[in-house]
Structure 1
Amino acid sequence: MSSFDKIRTRIAPSPTGFLHLGTARTALFSWAYARHHGGQFVLRIEDTDVARSTQDSVEQIIQAMNWLGLSYDEGPIYQMQRLDRYQAVIDQLIAEGKAYRCYATPEELNEMREAQKARGEKTLYDRRWRPEPGKVLPTPPEGVKPVIRFANPIEGDVTWNDLVKGPITINNREIDDLIIARTDGVPTYNFAVVVDDWDMRISHVFRGDEHVNNTPWQINIFNALGAPLPQFGHLPIILGDDGLKLSKRRGAVSVMDYAANGYLPEAMLNYLARLGWSHGDDELFSAAQMVAWFDGSHLSRSPAQWDPAKLDWVNGHYVKTVDEGRLAALVVEQLAGKGLAVSAAQVQPKVGLFKDRCATVAALADWLSMYFAPVSPSAEDLATHVTEAVRPAIAHLAGKLSAVGDWNKGNIQQALKDTLAATGLKMPQLAVPVRVLVCGRAQTPSLDAVLEHFDQKKVLERLQAV
């Protein structure tokens, strides 16, 4: 760390879509590492893919970072606002003979690759436009805009001690003369990321292991610039529950999709942290605890498996333990999505009765919707439970409940007991049909506690509808 006076990490998503779960995990590890060491965390937007980058994606990325609570100390920094800086570094490399203009056309490069394949060789750029002592270069063709290539070292190895994978060595003969600027002057990923990390004094880079093959190029560019090397840690991929890699193109893996579906940010952080990192046997912990523990060790080298059931278990823990006022506000948002305009004051008294049954806020909202919208019992439940034999008891209970002056749990319980005494039924024989009619489902918490939160008139209307 002698080259850096402070630990600085970054997350650098491409704004070509939402912030997906793999990038969110990388952001979490980068953030936690910086916070653990009293360092700084930077948000950089790598928007050089001009055709696919959108402002909507930028806003979704920032929204997801904010929802997760991954506060950044600098940023967002946009690459497309740094083009002059990239060009200055390119000019420097060309002047020093460490980069050069290449005029090879796509057709020429394709012919070159096909010839290499025919000879059984690895397809690498043949350096035809690379200046070398005694080499006579062709005359640049008219009307062809050059790309800029980095003059990668031809001999030797690139070696680094990966924070996750350990020592990695790749021979320079396996590495192309990388294009670092396109014909329009826009830099390519592997060049821009080096200049950015250098300028932003990034000391540690956590990223997915699909970037392992990019790292030798980047290390060679760092060295060519005389820039200090960050330490690299390449995180294994996250596999979906089908065993295939999670990706933007496969399934709903947007962070904000989970927010919309009633997951809590602290639960998502807790679950993401355990995908490829551990602290003993601890399964449930706060962001503050993670920061205290996350020193970069105990990172797994094996792919992590996304387990929806485990996420639900973690989220259910937080649903049970978070402040009920906050939970009520989230339920209000969920109900608004169902077209139900209710207030937190209407919701909060009911939250405690149902939250232990729910893995998500969306599930809790489903429970509570019966208080604010008509219910539709299934035909099967009606046929099974609301039989001709029980209808007289339901009518009797409706009469008892209509006479209740003070609508509370105790008086509701007494009306139920009086009906059982009068009809000779057992509680399940009466309670289940009442649940089906009033709540739209056969299973609920204690019936008297559930009915207490209903408007008395609504309970009577639903019982008398049979």
Structure 2
Amino acid sequence: VVADLVEQGKAYYSFATPEQLETFRNEARREGTSPAYDGRYKVSPAEAQERLANGETATVRFAVPRPGETVFDDVVRDEVRFDHKQVDDFVILRSNGTPTYHLASTVDDVDFAITHVIRGEDLLSSTPKHILLTQAMGAELPTYAHLPLLMGPDGKKLSKRHGHTALAAYRDAGYLPTAVVNYLALLGWNPGDDDTIVDLSTMIERFELDRVSKNPAIFDVTKLEWMNGVYIREMDQATFVETVTPLVESDLGRELDARERGVLSEMAPLVQERAKTLTEIAPQMRFLFADISYDESSWKKVMTKPDAGRALRAARGVLVDLDEFSTESVEAALRGMLESEELNPRKGFQPLRVALSGSSVSPPLFESVAALGKERTLARLDAAALAIDDAS
């Protein structure tokens, strides 16, 4: 391709030195003209061949027609014009014989008969170069669509400083593929009907390039978390349990036995309705299957309050006498305890939550007590009450 372009006079060997190019740019700045290199240091084909024969190396530059302009219709940005004063005689082959991106990309597009080039707007300035190359090769131009860039919440181009930028990182952080696809599709595109939750088949059916916005889209992790939570809640229970079981087992470092799998199936819907990411689930359910340690901030916030010890002892007093240890009987007993002790739910129940799960954030209290069972519940209440006494 390069040899053909040189032979046709559409490209040329360039011996321009870095010093010459810097001189050109400095003069352009002083004169207020375009710094795009216009080929002024180009030598004749005969001189080029002689210098190459003598062992000199050279790049190959595309000879941009001057004067002139490249005009094309972009599906997203409508008509786009580039005056050739702003397009340099760009390098298509380096002095070591390797092609540049502009040449390799364009030749690939031509060879594979690419019909649509869809890419970020940061490559918009490369498009006139690719169009000129395509035309010089005598090929049909593809349709171009330059999409708006993704921005962080601060309005700057999305980068690692805003958080993860790799899909694998979001998978590892507990985001469902369906939620991520949904969220990414809505960045700069409107499916219509003010829909936010849109499945893949509907996206495929509705998607049109001309409905992509020209304006940059903001990548908001908070909104992604919300959408991921919607998708988690919409999972049927069997699928949810199947999804989280290996996460719980990995967190524990062992497999669950048959009884524990039953407990997981019973408690999973209570966690499912609150979770925003899958990674939240195993830590919240760990207390059901393993010994606990107290979260320092939860202990300080809850267990240092004057009524914490009293609430634990009063709860133990009503739970120890229960013959049936069900969610309903536990709730009735503990609500009766609040009334007799004249404690509000925050003062009476939060100490129980920390005592039983180690954290102030856990699944619903009554269901948690029933799932732990009487023996473990009483043992953890005693241990927490003793810890409070030791600290006072």
TM-score (norm 1): 0.72
292-301 or 142-151: bigger deviation: 142-151
Q: Deviations 1:208-257 (Å, cap 9, x if unpaired)?
A: 11111100000010101111111111111111011211024653222222
Q: Deviations 1:324-349 (Å, cap 9, x if unpaired)?
A: 34433443454466564344936443
- Contact kept, 8 Å, 1:340 with 1:372, in 2: the verdict is no
Name which of 306, 309, 323 aligns with 2:222: 309
Give matches, 1:397-416, under 5 Å. 397-400=318-321, 404=323, 407-413=325-331, 415-416=333-334
- Contact kept, 8 Å, 1:150 with 1:178, in 2: the verdict is yes
CA distance in 1, matches of 2:139, 2:330: 76
Aligned counterpart, 1:79 = none
Name which of 4, 26, 42 aligns with 1:114: 26
CA distance in 1, matches of 2:55, 2:307: 83
Distance 1:329 1:144, change over 3 A: farther
Is residue 84 of structure 2 the alignment partner of residue 140 of structure 1? no
Is residue 74 of structure 2 the alignment partner of residue 162 of structure 1? yes
Name which of 329, 346, 352 aligns with 1:434: 352
The CA deviation at 1:384 is 2.6
Aligned counterpart, 1:94 = 6
Distance 1:254 1:147, change over 3 A: same
Is residue 371 of structure 2 the alignment partner of residue 453 of structure 1? yes
Q: Which has the higher contact order (CA 8 A, sep 6+)?
A: 1
Structure 1: runs of 5+ lacking an equivalent:
1-88
Q: How many residues align?
A: 374
Aligned counterpart, 2:276 = 359
Is residue 121 of structure 2 the alignment partner of residue 209 of structure 1? yes
- Contact kept, 8 Å, 1:145 with 1:183, in 2: the verdict is yes
Letter in 1 for 2:209: G
Name which of 241, 265, 275 aligns with 1:328: 241
CA distance in 1, matches of 2:159, 2:339: 61
CA distance in 1, matches of 2:237, 2:4: 60
The CA deviation at 1:421 is 7.5
- Contact kept, 8 Å, 2:15 with 2:42, in 1: the verdict is no
Aligned counterpart, 2:390 = none
- Contact kept, 8 Å, 2:76 with 2:212, in 1: the verdict is yes
Give matches, 1:101-250, under 5 Å. 101-128=13-40, 130=42, 139-140=50-51, 144-248=56-160, 250=162
Distance 1:116 1:427, change over 3 A: closer
CA distance in 2, matches of 1:200, 1:380: 64
CA distance in 2, matches of 1:249, 1:189: 27
- Contact kept, 8 Å, 1:327 with 1:361, in 2: the verdict is no
Distance 1:106 1:144, change over 3 A: farther
The CA deviation at 1:297 is 2.6
Q: Deviations 1:147-186 (Å, cap 9, x if unpaired)?
A: 1211222232211111111101112222111111222222
Give matches, 1:275-424, under 5 Å. 275-280=187-192, 281-332=194-245, 334-335=247-248, 338=251, 340-343=253-256, 345=261, 347-373=264-290, 374-376=292-294, 377-384=298-305, 387-400=308-321, 404=323, 407-413=325-331, 415-416=333-334, 419=337
RMSD (Å), alpha carbons: 2.9
Distance 1:382 1:322, change over 3 A: same
Structure 2: runs of 5+ lacking an equivalent:
386-392
Distance 1:392 1:367, change over 3 A: closer
The CA deviation at 1:128 is 4.4
CA distance in 1, matches of 2:250, 2:155: 32
Distance 1:150 1:438, change over 3 A: same
**Secondary structure, counterpart of 1:107 in structure 2:** helix
Distance 1:200 1:221, change over 3 A: same
Letter in 1 for 2:66: I
Distance 1:154 1:455, change over 3 A: farther
**Secondary structure, counterpart of 2:70 in structure 1:** strand
Letter in 2 for 1:140: R
Higher helix share: 2
Name which of 145, 158, 163 aligns with 1:251: 163
- Contact kept, 8 Å, 1:409 with 1:448, in 2: the verdict is yes
CA distance in 2, matches of 1:172, 1:427: 74
